[in-house]
């Protein structure tokens, strides 16, 4: 069994940002020389997410509005008694989930026509990390 | 390491439909001859999901109502400026998630008593695909 | 390829409860002797979940409130015609998702500084089970 472990670092300009990392993941799969296997793409922070959907700017704005509606910024989260102000970012992370597993077939991300991997930052403007780990043969 | 990669095609009669694919997945695990490993079941389209829950028709209707409440059809999604009308289907897909990993033990899906795998179509009436990929020994 | 399959049992005092199982999972990874691989942590019941987030009691109370807001207890779920009263627990399970995959690197859960694995019980006070399955080398 082969494996590859790499980390991507992000430091977004805005608090919330959605970054297409599909090409980065494919490049790491190339580097792994894995032909058949899985690659895990997983946020290492609890106020960020990773999801698969469309690379369409209107949809990304819709997703951002929708997350703010279902997991809004509020002053009164209990979590804020710790001094934090990012309770909403934790809930947004739970909602989109923090990780995806992508199948690797013939050395390629085995995707449908519109699937793209996004890093979803919900509490940015500081250095945060995603792990890319592939296993297979 | 053994691996198996197969695709299931769907073309649902209705726009939204929930299809129990547990048996299909077990048959492919049988075909893989994998005794210990994981099987990934993942929608290849960004307006469909895969989830694990109960095969009970009342609950499935509840899930459908609930998804429509939290990620409703609306005319004014920004995504619709592209000519699409399926913004809600993208959000529903994010909400239930597009994939599950199922453990394989002694060649069987290692499930609790009520766990069943569902393909959740949110923008049907056209051909769409799910990947089933198993790895293990 | 090595693999390890173990089950954790829970019987919570309250209907809803959030239990940090990070240490249990790391101990099983130690036992597996897997250095590089993945460990799946997956609820075997359809009214429970597994998620990764912060071990902070205020946040856990926020998560519980938030789940009750988005997937509330209601008397009139169709699922209740079967005699059950736990429709909300099924929806809460879908919302947080029932499983996570954790990367194993050098024999350790390869986590960021605040990531902890939680078993989320939504219909407790009876015996329920989680599968821990690791594969790798």
Q: Which residues pair with C50 in a beta bridge?
A: C119
Q: What is the pLDDT of residue B102?
A: 98
Q: Are B104 and B134 in contact (CB under 8 A)?
A: yes
Going residue by residue through chain C, which has 137 residues, state the pLDDT in tens, using 9 for 90 and above.
Answer: 999 999 999 999 999 999 999 999 999 999 999 999 999 999 999 999 999 999 999 999 999 999 999 999 999 999 999 999 999 999 999 999 999 999 999 999 999 999 999 999 999 999 999 999 999 99
The answer to whether C78 faces chain B, any CB pair under 8 Å, is: yes
Q: Which chain C residue lies closest to A48 (C-alpha atoms)?
A: C53
The answer to whether A94 faces chain B, any CB pair under 8 Å, is: no
The nearest CA of chain A is from the CA of B80 a distance in Å of: 8
Question: Which residues of chain C neighbour A91 with C-beta distances below 8 Å?
Answer: 62-63, 66
The nearest CA of chain A is from the CA of B113 a distance in Å of: 25
Residue B111 CB partners (closer than 8 Å, separation 6+): B102, C44
Residue A61 φ then ψ, to 5° = -65, -40
Average pLDDT for chain A: 98
Sequential DSSP letters for C84-106: ---HHHHHHHHHH-SEEEEEEET
CB-defined contacts A:C, below 8 A: 85
Q: Do B5 and A110 lie within an 8 Å CB cutoff?
A: yes
Tokens 């998804």 correspond to B67
Q: What is the pLDDT of residue A41?
A: 98
Q: Which chain C residue lies closest to A132 (C-alpha atoms)?
A: C103
Residue-wise pLDDT for B2-57, tens only, equals 999 999 999 999 999 999 999 999 999 999 999 999 999 999 999 999 999 999 99
Q: What is the pLDDT of residue C65?
A: 98
The nearest CA of chain C is from the CA of A44 a distance in Å of: 4
Intervals of chain A under pLDDT 50 = none
A70, containing H or E segment: helix A57-70
- Supply the Cα-derived Rg of chain C in whole angstroms: 16
Residue A102 φ then ψ, to 5° = -115, 130
Task: Give CA B68 to chain center in angstroms.
Answer: 17
Q: Do B3 and A136 lie within an 8 Å CB cutoff?
A: yes
Q: What is the pLDDT of residue B71?
A: 98
The answer to whether C22 faces chain A, any CB pair under 8 Å, is: no
Q: Do A82 and C56 lie within an 8 Å CB cutoff?
A: yes
Task: Give CA B56 to chain center in angstroms.
Answer: 16
CA-CA-CA-CA dihedral for C9, C12, C17, C20, to nearest 10 = -40
The answer to whether B95 faces chain A, any CB pair under 8 Å, is: yes
Q: What is the pLDDT of residue A28?
A: 98
The nearest CA of chain C is from the CA of B37 a distance in Å of: 7
Is the complex ipTM higher than 0.95? yes
Strand, coil or helix: B100:
strand
Q: Do A62 and B5 lie within an 8 Å CB cutoff?
A: no
CA dist B64 and C131 (Å) reads 28
CA dist C104 and A94 (Å) reads 22
């Amino acid at each position: 069994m082969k494996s590859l472990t790499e980390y991507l670092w992000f430091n977004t300009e805005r608090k919330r940002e959605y970054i297409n990392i599909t090409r980065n993941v494919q490049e790491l799969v190339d580097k792994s020389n894995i032909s058949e296997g899985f690659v895990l793409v997983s946020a290492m922070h609890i106020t960020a997410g990773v999801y698969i959907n469309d690379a369409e700017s209107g949809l990304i704005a819709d997703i951002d509005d929708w997350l703010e509606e279902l997991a809004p910024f509020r002053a009164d989260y209990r979590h804020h008694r710790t001094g934090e102000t990012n309770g909403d970012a934790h809930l947004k992370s739970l909602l989109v989930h923090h990780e995806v597993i992508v199948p690797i077939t013939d050395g390629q991300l085995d995707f449908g026509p519109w699937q793209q991997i996004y890093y979803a930052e919900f509490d940015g403007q500081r250095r945060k990390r995603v792990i890319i780990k592939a296993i297979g043969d």
